[in-house]
Amino acid sequence: MNIQQTLNNYGLTAEEANLYLAGLKTGEAPLARIAKMAGIKRPTAYLIAKSLEGKGLLGSFKMRSGLRFVVSPPSTFEQNLKRKLKEVSEILPELAAIEKGSQIKPKITLYEGEEGYYTALEDSLGTTNGVIRAIGSLKKIYEVITPEYDVNHYIPTRVKNRTVYRGLHFKDEAENIFTPERNSKEMREVKFLPEKYHHSDFILIYRNAVTICTSKKELITLKIESEEIAEAEKRKFDLIWDLIK
């Protein structure tokens, strides 16, 4: 895993991440020394240090020899995220009530990149005691989300929610994975599409949503939230399901 990229994803700029990493290496030290190791000019370093202090990732104290700086331990990142998650969890009911009170309109959301796939899949896990319909290439979707995510997170969560997965896939990609034993255990029903209709995208239909994920080549996810469209797509899916022996 790329440390720099992960720190950027956490919310640090490239220079903030560099100064923090340099501070880990130097330990308690004057800012000039930390800045030199980070390859950052001193005037800029003071501004970055101020920003890191505001994020709880850097502290300073006076000594006879001058001002010393020390970065917070790496565990601070996890603690901050847990605190933020707790704060968000506490206001979710209020946010849901606001959303429910608004006028319901069809909505289309376009995501670019891998996060869109995960966003769609996580959203589908909000289905409880229902059915998630899926059609498309298992091989192509696994190039993005990985089988480990499916086996270790998606499937257990879906089963816990008592939600059936009904899939239309291609035999050469899924037969060895979706065995009768696993299908029974993992609340899954699968039928195989004729190979001549092979395509690379992956479609999820659940609740009032239809989500289309392209292959890794394009990395685009299109989510349509509409009761009418979702119901129509469910009926089309069920027609194909009933026609396949």
Rounded Cα gap, residues 22 and 7, in angstroms: 13
Distance CA 119, CA 117 (A): 5
Per-residue pLDDT for 106 more than 90?
Answer: no
Are the CB atoms for 131 and 164 separated by under 8 Å?
Answer: yes
Helix (H, G, I), strand (E, B) or coil at 150: helix
**CB–CB of 132/204 below 8 Å?**
yes
**Percent residues over pLDDT 90 in the chain:** 64
Q: How confident is the model over 160-210, as pLDDT tens digits?
A: 999 999 999 999 998 899 999 999 999 999 999 999 999 999 999 999 999
Question: Which of 129, 170, 132, 171 is closest to 150 using CA atoms?
Answer: 132
What tens digit of pLDDT does each residue of 35-69 get? Answer: 999 999 988 999 999 999 988 899 888 887 778 89
Distance CA 111, CA 169 (A): 24
* DSSP element (H, E) containing 112: strand 107-112
Give the model's pLDDT for residue 61: 84
In this predicted model, what pLDDT tens digit does every residue of 108-161 receive, in sequence order?
A: 999 999 888 999 899 999 999 999 999 999 999 999 988 999 999 999 999 999
**Secondary structure (3-state) at 67:** strand
**Domains, the chain, ranges and CATH?**
3-73 (1.10.10.10), 104-243 (3.30.870.10)
Q: In angstroms, rounded to a whole number, what is the distance separating the alpha carbons of residues 236 and 231?
A: 9
| pLDDT given at position 111 | 92
